[in-house]
A = this chain, B = another copy of it.
């Protein structure tokens, strides 16, 4: 008993085999339930495994099976938007729900932080079985990378340049746009400013399209305005400040990004106007930003939780059967307008 005690190595399947007096094959079958094993033998194997505290090595299983049981959620959105000052919002809400669903199914969900393109390589250095991509833009670098590396992925929201074979969970962008812009119209807004991000995303496209549909009858004639997604609240504020100078008749603002909406309120207030008295403001994503803004913002409940779950299930289907042809996606929950003070009449 001289010499330091060596750290006890964790038992392997060979140890169980020795303990139970059977082969490794039989241990594997006995423990996993695959193949036919005599019930008595199986019981012996189980007991032996329990006795020595055996737990199969996930790393070995991963190599053998090609599955790491790790999925990830990624976004090409700029950190200022994806995370926000307090690192919260759209992205994290999806991540939290996806993590929960994944865990239920035996997968762990990794958070890929918003990174610059030179770090995308790292994405494929990790053993990811699949990836959820949140609101991809046209030519999204994350999507490109995933496609090139043949890593299964599902987009939450359709990329404007989505390929036929891409798996997509719809964000109901058109319906959402109708809810928002229809609300401003019904409320009687005479001149509605549309404020979207500078990336080419499907939700922005839908916003523009629906705006154009409604504009003629409603008498709206302002061009949509764009703000840098990387600019966050300040960018939204600047854009609206400029717009109000050029077009003092604006009495409604639909800001597609919640950070922009907060900036929009500041710009309106800063110009001596009131919300909603002089200008009504609403935004798409009903997160804490919308709820914490003063006044509280009318926004859309997109059902991000259920949507994230659907996306995870779809991704796991694809991972577990990469050849399946069925690409029908369960319907996403319908978006719902949550009216608050910012558009009160």
- Which residues of A approach B to under 8 Å, CB–CB? 10, 55, 57-60, 62-63, 66, 68-70, 72, 83, 86-89, 92-93, 95-97, 99-100, 103, 106, 108-113, 115, 119, 122, 124-128, 149-150, 287-289, 291-292, 305
Structural contact, B87 and A113, CB atoms closer than 8 A: no
Which among B59, B60, B70, B103 is the interface contact of A113 at CB below 8 angstroms?
B103
Cβ–Cβ contact B106 & A109, under 8 A: no
Interface of A is mostly: mixed
CA A110 – CA B83 in complex, angstroms? 17
Kindly report how many copies of this chain are found in the complex they form together: 2
Contact, CB under 8 Å: B58 / A288 = no
C-alpha spacing A69/B58, complex, angstroms: 13
Please give, as numbers and ranges, the residues of chain B lying within 8 Å of A125 by CB-CB distance.
55, 58, 69, 106
Q: How far is the CA of A168 from the CA of B87 in the complex (A)?
A: 23
Write the chain B residue with the least CB distance to A66.
B59
CB contact under 8 A between A72 and B103, given known A86-B288, A92-B88: no
Residue pairs across A and B with Cβ atoms less than 8 A apart, 5 shown, are A62-B63, A87-B97, A88-B92, A103-B122, A288-B289
* Smallest CB separation, A299 vs chain B (Å): 12
Q: Assuming A62-B62, A119-B103, is B108 touching A126 (CB within 8 A)?
A: yes
Inter-subunit contact A111/B99 (CB<8 Å) = yes
